[in-house]
Structure 1
Amino acid sequence: MSNEEKNLDKKIGKNIKRIRNDRKITQKELAESLGIIEQTVSKIERGVFSPSFATLLKICEILDTTPNELLLEDSDWKDWKTEQLEQLDYSVTGLSDKISIVEDQWARADMEKKKGNIKGERFHLDTIIGMYAWTNEHYRGIADYLYQKDLKIYLDRMTSEVRKNKISNLNLLD
């Protein structure tokens, strides 16, 4: 076995141990879940024993992790974990903030509409649109959407009238 392979086994073992401890799983519990003895888990974690690929996948499943996470160096793992937390924070916090801001504008627009204040309602609707449309391409997308929507309404009315005429013609034939 080459030094590179030994180092890889040690890195994987170290990460398995770290993740297992993070998940508050004992070596004995991991061994039982894998159907192996506790000493084998200890050897894997020390990098003395190389588990099969199937065993590594089972370990990933039990520890709720990915093979990629098992291959990360300590510094890489810390960077990766920080990035994961930042993305989670951004996605949850960002979504919550966005919903709050937009719903506030909708509520204000609804209140202005209820008062009959068309200009006030339009101001809040424009604010919402402005949050999403700041380039000509965005405005083109909105314009195309409105145009397509108008065509669909027109086409729906036209097909409804044609259908009514067809029904009337069939009724005359009966």
Structure 2
Amino acid sequence: MEHDTKKINFLGENIQTIRKHRKMKQQELADAIGINMQSLSKIERGVNYPTFDTLEKIMDVLEVTPNELLSGEWKFVQQAEKEVCKFLRTEERLNAELKHGHYDNFFDSEEEWLEYELEQLRKYITDYIKGEDIQASDLYPIKTFIQHLKFQKVLDRYDDLYSMDMFGESTDGHKYGTPYQVVKRINPNSKEDMELLREVLKDSHFDNGDE
């Protein structure tokens, strides 16, 4: 019980310290929480303890947690630490979900999981891009990175595309055919080729109905 009393003795002093840190006058805080200035003064001096309802309003207006008000001497650094810790916890949750989500969540197929994973990453990036204080200059490093990835994809396909252009087949040995290449390889004396030609022209909307 003695430990609790020691903690509660810091309450009034902490309220006053945080109020001043928030650049609020005593009257402003009193008005905001709906009590008169004399009552707030007694709370800050430790003469009276606030009711739970008043304490809730004080925490809401000063944007602090119960632990911050009752944990002894209030230090400004706690605010920075709180923001950093909140960010790290949020990032860690996302990283853990993306790493283990496939196993921890119920998905009917690999495709469903991959779609969900992609959607989570889209949301993550979009939340950043839509930030109120975001500027175009903030996004240039992202643009540069994505530009690099896009170009790398072209380079990765270069050998395959080159093979298609030179030899008409992919590096895997698959024939690379378009309707136009099929037409160039047509043998007019082959019944099968002529049937194929009709199919190609039909699919290409060039068939005029002539035999």
TM-score under structure 1 normalisation? 0.50
Q: Larger relative contact order (C-alpha < 8 A, sep ≥ 6)? A: 1
Highest CA radius of gyration, 1 or 2?
2
Q: TM-score, normalised by structure 2?
A: 0.42
Larger fraction in helix: 1
